[in-house]
Amino acid sequence: MPMDIDTIAKKIASLYLSSAALATIVAILTLGEPFIMLGSIAALGLITVLGDSLAEYGVETVLHAVYAERTKQESVQSLLQEIEGLPITGELKFKLKNQLISQNITSNQEIELDQIKVVEIEE
């Protein structure tokens, strides 16, 4: 039974808690080898689920949904800076940033843009 994109986005966005992930890794490492093996098996299962969802919906759709979910808890400015550092194409970065900015404007939140870049496309 395939999951819907909203469920996948919420699960991926909830995985972003890096401090909790770091604390979990440290706890697993202090408990010993059996827990490391079980953690590795669980990580492989998670990677499989994420890979299946990416294949079903596409990278762009999943990224849009994840960042839409993360805007509920994080500032748009920090997400825009994060997107700039992602190893993705410039076109996808542009689409993600436009989505965040347009969602931000429609939800009446304030945003501070450091720079506005104007790109001319010559044909």
- C-beta separation of 101 from 112 below 8 A: no
- The model's confidence at residue 16, banded by pLDDT at 50, 70 and 90, is low
Domain boundaries along the sequence of the chain: 32-108
Structural tokens at position 65: 């949904």
Share of the chain above pLDDT 70, in %: 52
Report, as an integer, the average pLDDT of 49-54. Answer: 71
* Whole-number average pLDDT of the chain: 73
Q: What percent of the chain has pLDDT over 90?
A: 2
Residue 109: what pLDDT?
46
Query: In one letter, which amino acid is 70?
Result: R
Residue that wins the pLDDT comparison between 79 and 38: 79
Confidence of residue 65 (pLDDT cuts 50, 70, 90): confident
- Which helix or strand (DSSP H or E) is residue 70 part of? helix 59-70
Quickly state the pLDDT bin for 28 (edges 50, 70, 90).
low
Read off the pLDDT of each residue in 66-91 and give the average, rounded to a whole number. Answer: 87
CB 22 within 8 A of CB 76: no
**Section 60-73 average pLDDT:** 85
